[in-house]
Amino acid sequence: MKTAVFLMNLGGPRNLDEVEPYLYDLFSDPLVLDAPLGPLRKPLARFIARRRAPSSAEKYQLIGGRSPLVEGTEAQARALAAALGGGFTTHLAMRCGHPDTAEGVREALAAGAERAVALPLYPQWANATTRSSLLELRRVWPAGRPLVEVCTWHDHPGYLDAVAATVRDAIAALPEGRREGPLVVFSAHGLPMSQVRKGDPYPHYVESSCRGVAERLKLADWQVTYQSRVGPMKWLGPDTLAFIARRAPGRAVVAVPIAFVSEHLETLYDLDILARDAARKAGAAAFARAAAVGTRPDFVAALADLVRDAIRAQTR
């Protein structure tokens, strides 16, 4: 059976002209802006996108004028296709922006796909990310054709091993004499507490991932933090920047993008610029940032395992 594997991620603007449409797609999603807005949802999303676009564009300009997430996911798709071998094709399915899920499905069907595997590139399940992407693929994949879904993989050994390797590399990049006992700050995208109170399991999965990496490296001092808060409502904490400012003085700090598998705004701006600056202003002795796992062979092998295991589970 010819199998299409959909690499699902949030997406990102490929140039500055796509910033506002990308934000509109994001805030149109009822799982992102989960208030009961009814017919007001799209006008409100348009208003928020138009208002936020200039400041967002400034941030993208600082990292090269675009999000590298799409091209990074394309590289992951090529690597995964090679790891899976014959009988598989890989396709992007971005939840916001392009190539979106419908575009990916059209491409897969044109290539002769008879079965689909949904592979969300969010290690930790959240309704606003994993569930949203899965619902969209269910909507556009042809009824009657098999659809296999990978859900959370926050505790997959291959994923945890790959992240641990990136942290090990970041620690090694610290100045000599600062590599023993650094403060390791795991940073995940935040979530409004209103969604957590509704039962979203995301923070539990994030904590499990961080614990798995910390155990592999026998870290002495580490903390789970959350970044990228939007709006006035209460979000998960502690906030990454506030925590670094409080704990960084005199310490070597290593920031780890635990919930991001590709480089994009949340790593290149929020961590490389804002978190580094927070550490510098607080008087940190040194700062390093672990790379996103990207196309590391160990991470790609973990993705291939997830695909094969999901197919086996459905066909038992």
Stretch 182-191: mean pLDDT, rounded?
97
Range from 34-38, 148-152, 248-252 carrying the lowest mean pLDDT:
34-38
Please give the angle made by the CA atoms of 169, 173 and 178, to the nearest 5 degrees. 115
Given a cut of 90, whether residue 32 has pLDDT beyond it is no
Average pLDDT over residues 178-207: 95
For the record, the structure tokens of 50 come out as: 């138009």
Between CA 176 and CA 165 the distance in angstroms is: 19
Q: CB–CB of 26/32 below 8 Å?
A: yes
State in Å, rounded, how far the first CA of the chain is from the last one: 16
Average pLDDT of every residue of the chain? 95
Give the pLDDT of residue 19.
Answer: 95
Q: Which CATH number fits domain 157-289: 3.40.50.1400, 3.40.190.10, 3.50.50.60, 3.40.1390.10?
A: 3.40.50.1400
Mean per-residue pLDDT for 217-232? 92
For residue 86, what are the contacts with CB-CB under 8 A and spacing of at least 6? none
What Å distances lie between residue 166 and 48, 58, 296, CA to CA?
Answer: 36, 29, 9
CB 243 within 8 A of CB 190: no
For the cut 90, the answer to whether the pLDDT of residue 228 exceeds it is no
Mean pLDDT of the 57-76 span: 96
- Answer yes or no: CATH 1.20.140.10 is held by domain 3-153+297-315: no
Nearby residues of 104 by Cβ (< 8 Å), 6 or more positions away: 6, 91, 92, 93, 94
DSSP 82-144: HHH-TTEEEEEEESSSSSBHHHHHHHHHHTT-SEEEEEES-SS--IIIIIHHHHHHHHHSPTT
- If you average pLDDT over residues 99-107, what whole number do you get? 97
Mean pLDDT across the stretch 286-312?
98
**For a pLDDT cut of 90, what percent of the chain falls above it?**
91
Tell me, what's the pLDDT at 5? 98
d(CA 255, CA 277): 12
Share of the chain above pLDDT 70, in %: 99
HSE, CB side, 13 Å, CA atoms: give it for residue 32: 22
Residue 115 has phi, psi (to 5 degrees) of -145, 150
At 115-150, the pLDDT tens digits run 999 999 999 999 999 999 999 999 999 999 999 999
- pLDDT of residue 35 exceeding 80, the answer is no
Q: How far is CA 273 from CA 189, 249, 255, 267, 288, in A?
A: 16, 18, 12, 9, 11
Stretch 238-254: mean pLDDT? 97
Say which residue the tokens 């071998």 belong to: 85
What secondary structure does DSSP assign to the chain, as a single string? --EEEEEEE----SSGGGHHHHHHHHHH-TTTS-S--GGGHHHHHHHHHHHHHHHHHHHHHHTTSS-THHHHHHHHHHHHHHHH-TTEEEEEEESSSSSBHHHHHHHHHHTT-SEEEEEES-SS--IIIIIHHHHHHHHHSPTTS-EEE----TT-HHHHHHHHHHHHHHHHTSPTTS-SS-EEEEEEE--BHHHHHTT--HHHHHHHHHHHHHHHHT-SSEEEEEE---SSS-BSSSBHHHHHHHH-TTSEEEEEETT-SS-SHHHHTIIIIIIHHHHHHHT-SEEEEPPP-TT-HHHHHHHHHHHHHHHHHHH-
Alpha-carbon distance 163 to 95, whole Å? 24
User: Comparing 3-153+297-315 with 157-289, is the CATH topology the same?
Assistant: yes
| Per-domain residue ranges of the chain | 3-153+297-315, 157-289
pLDDT-derived band of residue 316, with 50, 70 and 90 as boundaries? low
